Every structure is written in structure tokens, then in C-alpha cells.
Amino acid sequence: MDSSDQKLHIAMFPWLAFGHMIPYLELAKLIAQKGHQISFISTPRNIERLPQLPPNLSSSLITFVKLPLPRVDDDFPEDVEATTDVSQNKVMKLKKVYDALQQPLTHFLESSNPDWLLFDFAAYWAPTTARNLGIPCAFFSIFIGACLAFIGPTSPEISPDDRKNPEDYTVQPKWVPFPSNVAFHLFEVHRVYLDSITGDESNVSDVYRFMEGMKGCDVIAIRGCMEFDLKWLRLLQDIHRKPILPVGQLPTTNYEENDRWGSMREWLDRQPKASVVYVAFGSEAMPSQEEITTIALGLELSELPFIWVLRTNVVMLPEGFEKRIGGRGLVCRSWAPQLKILGHNSVGVFLSHSGWSSVVEALTFGRALVLLTMSNDQGLNARFLEEMKIGYCIPRDEEDGSFTSDSVAESLKLVIEMEEGKIYRDKAKELKPLFGDRKKQDMYVHNFLEYLKAHARNASKKV
């Protein structure tokens, strides 16, 4: 069989967060469009909440495999299946429940016999499971190269990570050979320290999960492209001594309609070009009540038109806020058509948490970024974007992460209209052709698949 005719069966097993499941699904759609079979594995409720598949993609090529979460903790609510369903302090417990999927996953892999398994950082046990079944596996990282490199090396030829204190994570790691500001601020370390860095008596840390997954996998696939983060991808090759395969930036595609778009578009049509601030912080880690209040007062002070997606009813806006801003701003308490909003030419700036899917969506449309990190890898993303003059970080207190409404207003005005912020506006426009290039994205998926074909289970018998 010619390799161009070889069709693969690829199992994909993302972590239980929509910031992970959506990029996995985007890659699944791109692979399935080339005629390969995908088994997309998650829990029943998560699969029901995923976006619809595109009309031109046969559902027979993407099979959704529902593995119910085992009940390993009587105190854990039965309807919790994703990080968006729990507070930040319960995510560690969700990871422990996720680990109990190892046996159901093993049974599925035994019965379905895929050519490859693509697994996420949390499933640190997946390489052992795959190896025992003779299935090659790839750690597919939705984290960018700079973040993955910051976590640490696995090659025995590289001096191991000896960071012990929170302050150690606020400086450039010793295995990064070029000057870089990619490190956490101290308040960002404290927000992730127990869960991500040290773990506790009942659970391993995220760093341990990453390191074991990268040690055990056959190849590391990563969201990224050589034109954008070449030096970091090369560094990953050096510190892990195994193939590093970029799969492109995986810009989001959405086929669902939203009833609110009509009224939003009419409002946006009335605003001057590149004048509107779009504000959204994802669905995983929400700002606190104090932060919401400060952001609101900052938007008010800026006197700029804005759309703010505030997907929670738990927090309150300042008294009289919506009345005072009148028609200058829209507050959306439900899901909003983010791609359509960012694609409108009246939007000038995206105030974001620096989650990478949001960054990709902004740069796909050439929108400048103002950044306010919340948790997880966002601090590292923000330093990377800041270093490249792609995003401007709102000034904050290094110890506790607090910020002022004045700094919110000043940061937005700087990036959207001042000469000092022109570099951010120009850089976003410069990157638009790269992030929006579907042909280049297709090339990365093609190259990735060629590697998977060449190294698939029983590849010699198929070719």
C-alpha cells in the first residue's frame, strides 16, 4: 500500500478541561478531513458539551467514546466532569478521579487496537498503558513551546531541575541557553504552587505528570509552528532528545449560531474602526469579585467602547455601573460568538487572560492584546507575548497580583490609541497572515500524519 493511501486509527485522550478538549477536537477535525479515523475519548457530559462537528465532516470519521468517570470519592459531585464545573481548589481532586479512567481506557484500547494514542499531560500513566499494549503514543501538548521548556528537561544529559522554592520559578531556568523573560511572577507561582509544582500527600503534582508523560512517550506533538517559536521548539528537542512535532496553531472553527450576534453586530457596526475593547477571560479560572470590580471601574475610566463577556452570575458589577456606561458598553452574561466579535473591524484590543486558544483567535484577526493572567500556564504565555511585543501586561503587585482601575484604563488606552502602543498593534497585524494561514496549518497536519504513518503500529505491514 502506498503511504499516501494509508489510513490511520488515532485515539485521542485529552484532559478534562475545555481549554484542552477544544484544541484536541480541532486537531481531530483536521486529521479526519484527510480520511483518518479518530476515537475521541472523554466523559459523557463533556462530549455532549463539545461544539458541533462541521457539516462537511462525516461523523463516521470521528467517533466519540464516552467513558463514565469512576466514583472514587463519595464527596465528589456526580455532575462534575470538567474543570469548568468546579472551583480551582477542587481541580486536584478531579485529577485523582481522572486517574481512575486508566482501566476503562486500557479496555477500550485493547478492544479498538488503534495505530496511535495521543494523550494529554494529566494522563502520566498513559505511556505505560500504551507500551503494554504495543501502541505507539504521542504526548500532545496544547501548551506552547516556551511553557513546555520551562517545566524541565527529561534527557539524562541535561542537568535536572533542582528548583525547590517559589522564588526559583520567577527566573529563567538554567537549561534555557538564550536570554528570556519567560518565568512566573511570584503571585502567579503562589496561585499554582500546591497543585502544579509540589502536589500533596494524596496526589502527584502537575510537573510530575508532565515529566513522566514526556519521558514515556514516543514523540512530543505540540501546538505551535516553526515560523513563530522556532528557538523554543529546538530547545525542546535538545532537552528531551526525542522528536518534537509542531501541529500548527489550531485556530478555532465554530459552526454554531448564536442568537445574540445580530444585536451585537448592529452595535459594533455603529462603533469607529479599531476602537472597541473586547473583554473575556475564558471559562476555567474566573476573576475574583475584587478583580471584577477593578476591571469594571477601569473600563469605565477608559471611556472606550467595550464588549465584556462575563460568564458568571456569582460576581456582581459595581452599583450603577451598567447605567453609567449606557450604550458605550455591552455586558454579556452567557456564551458569546467570540470569533465573530474578534473578526469585526471595530474591535481594536482583546483584554484576555492569555490562555493560548484566545491568543490564537486574537492574532488570527490581527487584534492587539492586553493581558491579565489568572492561573495555570497563563503567566508564562504572558511573558512570552510580552517579550515578543505581542501583548501588554497590566501592571500588578508582584506579591499579591493586585492591580488598579487606573492601570486597567491606562493599559487599554495605551494599546488601542497611543503612539507607545503602536508596536503591539503593528505586531498583531504582522502575525495575522501566519495565524490565519489555513494552508500552512494544513501543511503541519500533513507532516504530522506522515510521521505517524511511518511509525504506526504494524506500519511495515501496512505500507
- The CATH number of residue 291's host domain is 3.40.50.2000
Angle at which helix 356-364 crosses helix 18-32, to 10 degrees, equals 50
Task: Give the residue-averaged pLDDT of 301-314.
Answer: 88
| Count, residues in the chain | 463
Same domain as 456, residue 400: no
Give 164-193 pLDDT, tens digit per residue: 899 999 999 999 999 999 999 999 998 876
Residues 20 and 98 in one domain: yes
Together in a domain, 416 and 304: yes
Residue 457 has pLDDT above 90, yes or no: no
Contact 288, 375 (CB under 8 A): no
Q: What would the mean pLDDT of 41-58 be, rounded to a whole number?
A: 88
340 & 393 share domain: yes
For 18, half-sphere exposure in the C-beta direction (CA atoms, 13 angstrom radius) is: 16
pLDDT of residue 397: 94
Query: What secondary structure does DSSP assign to 95-128, as a single string?
Result: HHHHHTTHHHHHHHHHHH--SEEEE-TT-TTHHH
Mean residue pLDDT of the chain comes to: 91
User: Which tens digits make up the pLDDT trace of 74-118?
Assistant: 677 888 899 988 887 788 889 999 999 999 999 999 999 999 999
Q: Residues 404-452: pLDDT tens digits?
A: 999 999 999 999 999 999 999 999 999 999 998 999 999 999 999 999 9
Between these two residues, 462 and 452, which has the higher pLDDT value? 452
The predicted pLDDT at position 1 comes to 44
Task: Residue 371: give the domain boundaries.
Answer: 261-435
pLDDT value at 200 more than 60: yes
pLDDT of res. 37: 95
In a domain, residue 306? The reply is yes
Domain assignment present for residue 422? The answer is yes
| pLDDT tens for each residue of 106-131 | 999 999 999 999 999 999 999 999 99
How much is the average pLDDT of 370-396? 95
Confidence of residue 6 (pLDDT cuts 50, 70, 90): confident
Give the pLDDT confidence score for residue 463 in this predicted structure: 34
**pLDDT for 254-294, tens place per residue?**
755 666 788 899 999 999 999 999 999 987 767 889 999 99
pTM of the model: 0.93
* pLDDT (average), residues 220-231: 95
**Are 416 and 444 within one domain?**
no
Is residue 256 one of the residues assigned to a domain?
Answer: no
The per-residue pLDDT for 195 is: 65
Q: Is the CB of residue 247 less than 8 Å from the CB of residue 444?
A: yes
Among 148, 132, 130, residue whose Cα is nearest residue 140 = 148
The residue among 173, 116, 158, 157 whose CA lies nearest residue 139 is 116
Residues 240 and 101 in one domain: yes
Distance CA 214, CA 250 (A): 21
Residue-by-residue DSSP string for 254-291: -----TTHHHHHHHHHTSPTT-EEEEE--SSSPPPHHH
**196 and 275 together in one domain:** no
442 and 420 in a common domain: no
* Per-residue pLDDT at 63: 93
Q: Do 286 and 379 sit in the same domain of this protein?
A: yes
Per DSSP, 194 falls in state: I
Strand 306-309 versus strand 276-280 pairing type: parallel
**In this predicted structure, what is the pLDDT of residue 77?**
80
Residues 336, 310: Cα–Cα separation, whole Å: 10
pLDDT given for residue 45 in this prediction: 95
Q: Is residue 169 part of a domain?
A: yes
Instruction: Give yes or no: residues 166 and 23 share one domain.
Output: yes
Query: Do 81 and 189 share a domain, yes or no?
Result: yes
Q: Both 344 and 359 in a single domain?
A: yes
pLDDT in tens, 64-77: 999 999 887 767 78
Residue whose C-alpha is closest to residue 223's, from 182, 251, 183, 243: 251
Domain count of the fold of the chain: 2
Greater confidence (383 vs 259) lies with: 383
C-alpha cell recorded at residue 240: 528531551
* Parallel/antiparallel/unpaired status of strands 368-371 and 276-280: unpaired
Reported as a single tens digit per residue, the pLDDT across 32-45 is 999 999 999 999 99
Q: Is residue 27 part of a domain?
A: yes
Q: In Å, what is the CA distance from 105 to each residue of 42, 74, 76, 423?
A: 10, 22, 21, 48
